[in-house]
Structure 1
Amino acid sequence: MVKLVEKSPVEGLLPMEINGLSLTELVPGAITSVMPYAGQKTAASEALKALVGAAMPGPNRSTGREGARVVWTGAGQAMVIGAALDPSLAQHAAMTDQSDAWTVFRLEGQGVEDVLARLTPLDLNPGVFKRGHAARSLLGHMNAIFVKTANDAFDILVFRSMARTAVHEFDVAMKAVAARKALV
């Protein structure tokens, strides 16, 4: 009988630090997609608040904090990252376990927006994309979810199958920004 061994999709590649910027993998435990049923958004939000301490966020926002963050991921849907959900929420919302589908990266350090500007069309200027903001967009050619968690930090989710490619994209962008700064 084959024995399966759990491995990180980026094993041996992270952590990475280049010129004061760091890229790490976060392992939040549970990631659950939550989609309130018609007419149940308020009830689902209140139930989430009671269960994990964070309500359903508005568009392009996140609520909560590390360990129990709820991130807007589209019209009528959010992802709960880091907290396992009680099955009682199913009376108000459809829930799908996404824990094995996503890899969560944290990119942090001064100038993080310069790196991400090379990878996504989002305007991540600190005056526009503030702490608690969230958006779905592209990271290179991959679908991604961006969450600003601090003034100089983003959590970025990509599909697990694209994790190694994402690390490569981050590496190239981080080195390019470091090289540009070295010329100044």
Structure 2
Amino acid sequence: MPDLIAKPALGVAPVTHAGTTLAEIPLPQIIAIAPYPGQAAAVGAALGLAFPAPNTVSESGGARLVWAGRDMAFLIGAEASAATLPEGLAAMVSDQSDAWVMLTLVGPRAVDVLARLVPLDLRAAQRGQAFRSALGHMPLVLIAEGEGGFTLLTFRSMARTAWHEIEEAMAKVEARLALSA
């Protein structure tokens, strides 16, 4: 059996424009959890986290349960793996670790950058909120981290395109600021 080596989707250095930094984050395990009808509270209790309401994130220790769509959440963190889930969990479970890329966008112009790409008004976004949306034409799970920071999850197969689109928007925001200086 060959030894498989985990590699980052992009393997690029962080970039900064207008004081805002885009970086690829090594993705920890990510497990999609879709509770059976009426079992969301029981699933949350079994995981030790509240099953998130729409557009929210619940956290405990190093694990996060991120709302990812109707009746679905992503369990992300060091403790998240299909092998460590409680036996008999009343949910459909799927390991999504290889399917996503995780990026962070942090800085005073993060909202301005995302305004060019995401059809949401994020000016009032607060830590603990999550949104299922689009980044240009790519699917996106966006997590507000507070203090001008966001975590972005998109499909790994679209990682280079997402990076390019975000970096281009960052450069345009920086150019706009240079014009008004």
TM-score in terms of structure 2 length:
0.90
Pair 31,89 (structure 1): closer, same or farther in 2 beyond 3 Å: farther
**Whole-Å Cα distance in 1 between the matches of residues 96 and 52 of structure 2?**
18
Contact 2:34 2:92 in 1 (8 A): yes
**Whole-Å Cα distance in 2 between the matches of residues 104 and 66 of structure 1?**
19
Instruction: Please report how far the alpha carbon of residue 19 of structure 1 lies from its aligned counterpart in structure 2 after TM superposition.
Output: 2.1
Aligned to 2:85: 87
**Whole-Å Cα distance in 1 between the matches of residues 60 and 155 of structure 2?**
22
- Structure 2: gaps spanning 5 or more residues: none
Contact 1:44 1:89 in 2 (8 A): no
TM-score in terms of structure 1 length:
0.89
**Amino acid paired to 2:121:** D
SS at 1:88 equivalent: coil
Instruction: Please report how far the alpha carbon of residue 47 of structure 1 lies from its aligned counterpart in structure 2 after TM superposition.
Output: 1.0
**Whole-Å Cα distance in 2 between the matches of residues 178 and 25 of structure 1?**
20
Find the partner of 2:103 among 102, 105, 128.
105
Find the partner of 1:67 among 31, 56, 62.
62
- Structure 1: gaps spanning 5 or more residues: none
Contact 1:48 1:89 in 2 (8 A): no
Instruction: Please report how far the alpha carbon of residue 70 of structure 1 lies from its aligned counterpart in structure 2 after TM superposition.
Output: 1.0
Aligned to 2:143: 147
**Whole-Å Cα distance in 1 between the matches of residues 148 and 117 of structure 2?**
17
SS at 2:6 equivalent: coil
**Whole-Å Cα distance in 1 between the matches of residues 3 and 65 of structure 2?**
34
Contact 2:27 2:101 in 1 (8 A): no
**Whole-Å Cα distance in 2 between the matches of residues 91 and 148 of structure 1?**
28
Provide Cα deviations, 1:35-94, integer angstroms capped at 9, x if missing partner: 111221111011121xxxx32111111111683111111111100111324232542211
**Whole-Å Cα distance in 2 between the matches of residues 166 and 65 of structure 1?**
29
Number of aligned residue pairs: 177
Aligned to 2:21: 22
